Every structure is written in C-alpha cells, then in structure tokens.
Amino acid sequence: MDDQRRQAADWFHLLRDRIVAAFEELEDRAAGAAEAGRFTVTPTERAENGGGGLMSVMRGGRVFEKVGVNWSEVHGTLAPRAQAAMAARGVPGMEDDPRFWASGISLVAHMQNPHAPAVHMNTRMFWTPGAWWFGGGTDLNPCIEYAEDTAHFHDTLAAACAPHGTDYYDRFKAWADEYFFIPHRGRARGVGGIFYDDLNSGDWEADFAFTRSVGEAFLPAFLPLAEARMSQTWDEADREAQLVHRGLYAEYNLVYDRGTKFGLETGHNADAVLMSLPPLAKWP
C-alpha cells in the first residue's frame, strides 16, 4: 500500500500543476497586454502530526476573482471526534487504531464575470490500517444559469464515468444532488455534478483509474465555460446576484462540507481549509 499511496499523492500533485498552468494560460489570453493574474504558492504544514501541502491562490485576476488549487499529503492520528465520525461511517478498525494517511487536490474558483460559473472539484485517497478508499467529485455553481453550460458540464462528466461503470454517472450525480443541497435554504447550491465517497470496490487500480478520470475531466468540463463567459457584458444587477449566490456557497461550506470539517478537525492549515470561501458575498 506504500507504493499505491505514493502513486496517488504524486498524481494529485501532477493534476494540481496542470490545472494551475491552464488557469494561468487562460488569464494570459484574457489580459492581452495587461497584467494577468498569477497564483501565489505557499507551502503548508500541519501544526500537529505530519505532512502538509501546497496552497495555491490567485486573487484579483482578469478571469478569476479568487481561485484556490490546493494539494495535500497528510498523516497522523485522528482526533477523538474525527475518529468517532469515521467509526460511525463503518470504517474498519477505527475504534482501535486511529492512524490515517490522506492525499488529494481541492479546487474552488470564484469568477470575476457574474455570467461565468463558480466551480468546485476535489479528488482524494484516504487510508487507515483497516481500509482505504477514494472520494471526490465536482459541481458547477452559476449565479446566472445557462442551460447549454450545464449540459456541457454534465455531458463531460458522464463521458468520463462511462468506461468505469454503466451506473457510475447516474449514481454519483444523484449523490451530488443530495450532498450539495442546503437544507436550511431548501435548495441546491448550484446545478450539480458528481460526488462519491468511501469508494473501495476491492480493486485499487480500478478505483484509482476512475478517480483519475474524474480529475482529468475537470478542465474539459469547465474551461470552455469560463472562456465563453469571461468577456460577456454584465451590470450591477448581475453583480448583486453573484454576491448573493456566493452567500449560499459560504453557508454550505461552513455548515455541511465534509472536507472543511475534516481539515479543521485534523489540524490542517486553516487558511488552506477555508480557501473555498468567496472573497466577497452578500446576504439579503
């Protein structure tokens, strides 16, 4: 399992590098002769236990108002609350051995143009002495929805899922619809995507191949939408709608998101964990 963990962590790092390069290239095309946005990269370390990662954040770009692309590889001992949560999910051995290892990539992009959709993506591998699994997904969060953008995003994800299981897209789309729902608002935070967790079919290679497909589908699913909308004209009413919609995103990530809770409970860098929050938001 050591070799498999190394493969997974290295691939998540490579995906991070590819996405950062693609986003900076899009900034170059949008800026022309003007100054383009660039990522600031900060190494992160865990205050306790071990490991860390890279926090890559761009603020004030031509396309991206704020975007973070984080990679991490961490290990150590779960705090009692996190250990109890894992045991409640049925993770084998958690009651007796709270050691863990995890690696993954986490991305959230908040756009300058209100017509361009915000987006989230993450893929990860988690290991304990009694089990391993993959999880992740991606979902689109437009404040002004375009049916053709939603269709493109979902069609790309369906094509990525198809070689791995005839029911994968339908299952994981339904899971995303449930997972990214905000109960106290009675609505979804966006137009969905796919979400999966605790994926262990017994075939590590197959599950890792599917997780790679999810990660590799992200840029083809999202970049054409960002490029098509980045120069579209907008007005103050559009900006107001964008800021209010971002409030939904902030509420969800602070109240319900598993990754936010896990990162804070296991002592990871708080700025990296909360990278997903929008730079500005409003509440009616």
Q: Decide if pLDDT at 144 tops 80.
A: yes
pLDDT of residue 267: 64
Residue 13 lies in a domain: no
- Does residue 24 form part of some domain? no
In a domain, 84, yes or no: yes
* Confidence band of 83 (pLDDT split at 50, 70, 90): confident
**Is 120 assigned a catalytic role?**
yes
From 26, 253, 238, 226, select the one nearest 110 (Cα to Cα): 226
Q: How confident is the model at residue 160 (pLDDT cuts 50, 70, 90)?
A: very high
Average pLDDT, the chain: 91
**Do the domain assignments include residue 168?**
yes
The answer to whether residue 47 scores a pLDDT higher than 70 is no
Residue 76: pLDDT above 70? yes
* 80 pLDDT more than 90: no
The domain that contains 207 carries what CATH number? 3.40.1500.10
Question: pLDDT tens across 168-227, in order?
Answer: 999 999 999 999 999 999 999 999 999 999 999 999 999 999 999 999 999 999 999 999
Is 197 a domain residue? yes
Quick one: pLDDT at residue 134? 97
Q: How far apart are the first and last CA of the chain?
A: 50
Average pLDDT of the segment spanning 95-100: 81
Sign of CA dihedral 20, 9, 101, 89: positive
Q: 160: domain range?
A: 70-242
Identified catalytic residue from 120, 152, 154, 245: 120
Residue 10 lies in a domain: no
Q: How many structural domains does the chain have?
A: 1
Interacting residues of 199 by C-beta distance below 8 A, sequence separation 6+: 133, 134, 135, 207, 210, 211
**Is residue 272 over pLDDT 80?**
no
Q: Name which of 46, 101, 44, 103 is nearest 76 in CA terms.
A: 101
Q: How confident is the model at residue 257 (pLDDT cuts 50, 70, 90)?
A: confident
Q: Kindly state whether residue 96 falls inside one of the protein's structural domains.
A: yes
Q: What is the pTM of this model?
A: 0.92
Between 66-80, 208-222, 268-282, the lowest mean confidence (pLDDT) is in: 268-282
Confidence class for position 33, pLDDT limits 50, 70, 90: low
Which of residues 33 and 139 earns the better pLDDT score? 139
Does residue 257 lie in a domain region? no
**Is pLDDT of 261 > 80?**
no
For 77-94, what is the mean pLDDT? 76
Of 67, 146, 118, 108, nearest in space to 243 by CA: 118
